[in-house]
Structure 1
Amino acid sequence: MKEYNQYSSFEGSQHRAGHSRRDILKYGSAAALGAIMANGAISNAHAQGKSVTLSGHAPDALDQGNNTGEFDSNEPLNILIVNYDGGTLLDFAGPSEIFHRIPNTNVRYASLNGGNVILEFGVVYGKTERLADIEKTDLILVPGGSNLSVPMQPEYLKQIRRLADGAKYVTSVCNGSLVLAATGILKGKRSACHWAFINKLSEYGAIPVPDRFVEDDNGRFMSGGGVTAGIDFALRVAAKLRGLQAAEVAQLAIEYDPAPPFHSGHPREARPEIIAMVDKQLPGASKGLARIPGVR
């Protein structure tokens, strides 16, 4: 998995800062908490030769003090999430949780024929709208799934492409980017995907990028990596469209403060024997070329 080793672990840098959330329980004031976090951030940034702001945070692309976003706070934001049989619940449940918590935002769910869809593992998700009944949307999100044979059908692709062409933002999570790519709209565009399927994107003319969040055309195209990356993706979308403050409020409200118990969430960190076991389940996964039902 040498192609993934160049991407560093953010979680690892946080552990090296020297303070865990559990340590903070020993301190009794917000001032002490702020001092601990600021000192940790400053020390870590200095160790890496980075500049820091007075707040103690290393500069970030999103941390520019701009809380306005691309959509005015009084302007409704319409988001459409595409559903289908075989889809993965968390691919859209994570983003949905964020989107519902940002101001003046309307989230809709649709499938080809409307009604219930049977997701991965037999989970029934109900009362979706018909794609054909939706005239347009500001943002379309195509989540991934363990079986893409349904959304890869010509009529599904036709409806997704129609709505994507009229949308201001075209997005995906996990291997949902393969569905978008199959419509042709990602030709020549950079896109994320689940690590096991990332290199399938090039077969549709898209440019595979093994990152957790990827954007192209000044953010018109935004995509998240595999499954859990959908939450990171949605927070970045929220910050871009509604401003940093709205995204941070949503993040705090759902207590999105991940601390994975094992460092095996990506091939760049997982032990070789774990990667080998996944390769047996998904042949070609370690090369980003795993086959999935419905993908030509």
Structure 2
Amino acid sequence: MSSPLQIGLLVFPRVTQLDFTGPLQVFSSVPGAKLHLIWKRIEPVPSDSVLTLTPTTTFADCPQLDVICVPGGGGGTNDLLNDEEVLDFLRRQAEGAKYVTSVCTGSLALGAAGLLKGYRAATHWSAMEMLGQFGATPTKSRVCIDRNRITGGGVTAGIDFALTLVSILVDRTTAEAIQLQLEYNPAPPFNSGSPETAPAEVLALLRERGAQNQARRLEAVKRAAERVM
């Protein structure tokens, strides 16, 4: 009997819950997979919404994973970029993992751990230009596959990422069955889901709202990149 797939998702303060729960819902339907929600300690972790998450294992107790996934999360990601305890854990897992993955700005954490040098990678549109500071090639796509690095774009792309990964780990039929089970058949009410299609005033509004966090992220990326590169 083959061993179960070991899939781990990082949980951290102010994680964007949909970055995390979208892939989690998909992976939960993979036959025989064992899922791990990982943080430094087993204690409730606040997301960036009202939802609170509870890790199932710690860095110290986490088994070797087949898949390590880092979701993103506004200010939460910023705090990961220079957290050596987190980065050391990612490096250790990456040595034995079949796939090193992320959703949204989680790719910045992979970059800060030195795991994206020479790889193409996706991220949230607001962080795209930052990937290059870690030696990665920024790629505008919902899912970016470069050898065993699989990175998803912003937030909702986590579902696309997870379904794609299931098709690789298991098979396409399994992935399509999960997609049908979830009735994942997007038909957004507005064509404003990317900077290229959103009205100019909407893009300006969002940039203004996120300016302070963007400045903090740029500073965190700069410090992390100096160490990595």
TM-score (norm 1): 0.70
**Superimposed CA distance per residue, residues 174-224 of structure 1 (whole angstroms, 9 cap, x where no aligned partner):** 00000010000111111000001111011111111011110112xx11010
Q: Distance in 1 between matches of 2:215 and 2:156?
A: 20
Identity across matched positions, percent: 39
Secondary structure (helix, strand or coil) at the match of 1:132 reads coil
Aligned to 2:32: 104
- Conservation of the 8 A alpha-carbon contact between 1:143 and 1:176: yes
Aligned to 1:117: 45
Q: CA deviation at 1:116?
A: 1.6
Classify 1:98/1:199 alpha carbon distance in 2 versus 1 (closer, same or farther; 3 Å): same
TM-score (norm 2): 0.90
- Conservation of the 8 A alpha-carbon contact between 2:41 and 2:55: no
- Conservation of the 8 A alpha-carbon contact between 2:37 and 2:54: no
Q: CA deviation at 1:113?
A: 2.1
Q: Distance in 2 between matches of 1:164 and 1:82?
A: 13
Q: Work out which of the residue numbers 131, 134, 139 in structure 2 matches 1:204.
A: 134
Aligned to 2:177: 249
Residue 18 (structure 2) pairs with residue 95 (structure 1) = no
Classify 1:75/1:136 alpha carbon distance in 2 versus 1 (closer, same or farther; 3 Å): closer
Q: Work out which of the residue numbers 77, 80, 86 in structure 2 matches 1:151.
A: 80
- Conservation of the 8 A alpha-carbon contact between 1:197 and 1:291: no
Aligned to 2:103: 173
Aligned to 2:226: none
- The AA in structure 1 aligned to 2:79 is V
Larger-Rg structure: 1
Classify 1:99/1:227 alpha carbon distance in 2 versus 1 (closer, same or farther; 3 Å): same
Q: CA deviation at 1:136?
A: 0.8
Any stretches of 5+ residues in structure 2 without a counterpart? Answer: 223-229
Aligned to 2:196: 268
Aligned to 1:49: none
Any stretches of 5+ residues in structure 1 without a counterpart? Answer: 1-72
CA RMSD after TM alignment: 1.8
Q: Distance in 1 between matches of 2:202 and 2:88?
A: 39
Secondary structure (helix, strand or coil) at the match of 1:177 reads helix
Secondary structure (helix, strand or coil) at the match of 2:49 reads helix
Aligned to 1:136: 64
- Conservation of the 8 A alpha-carbon contact between 1:172 and 1:224: yes
Q: Distance in 1 between matches of 2:184 and 2:216?
A: 30
- Conservation of the 8 A alpha-carbon contact between 1:85 and 1:119: yes
- Conservation of the 8 A alpha-carbon contact between 1:103 and 1:242: no
Q: Distance in 1 between matches of 2:42 and 2:156?
A: 26
Classify 1:292/1:95 alpha carbon distance in 2 versus 1 (closer, same or farther; 3 Å): farther
Q: CA deviation at 1:242?
A: 0.7
Q: Work out which of the residue numbers 63, 87, 92 in structure 2 matches 1:162.
A: 92
**Superimposed CA distance per residue, residues 106-157 of structure 1 (whole angstroms, 9 cap, x where no aligned partner):** 1111102232211113431114311121131100000001112432311111
- The AA in structure 2 aligned to 1:192 is A
**Superimposed CA distance per residue, residues 56-113 of structure 1 (whole angstroms, 9 cap, x where no aligned partner):** xxxxxxxxxxxxxxxxx95521101011001110001000111111212111111022
- The AA in structure 1 aligned to 2:98 is K
How many residue pairs are counted as aligned between the two chains?
A: 218
Classify 1:143/1:292 alpha carbon distance in 2 versus 1 (closer, same or farther; 3 Å): farther
Secondary structure (helix, strand or coil) at the match of 1:236 reads helix
- Conservation of the 8 A alpha-carbon contact between 1:146 and 1:292: no
- Conservation of the 8 A alpha-carbon contact between 1:150 and 1:156: no
Secondary structure (helix, strand or coil) at the match of 1:92 reads helix
- Conservation of the 8 A alpha-carbon contact between 1:80 and 1:141: yes
Q: Distance in 1 between matches of 2:72 and 2:212?
A: 18
Q: Distance in 2 between matches of 1:263 and 1:149?
A: 29
Secondary structure (helix, strand or coil) at the match of 1:133 reads coil
Q: Distance in 2 between matches of 1:291 and 1:239?
A: 38
- Conservation of the 8 A alpha-carbon contact between 1:110 and 1:129: yes
Q: Distance in 2 between matches of 1:83 and 1:192?
A: 20
- The AA in structure 1 aligned to 2:6 is N
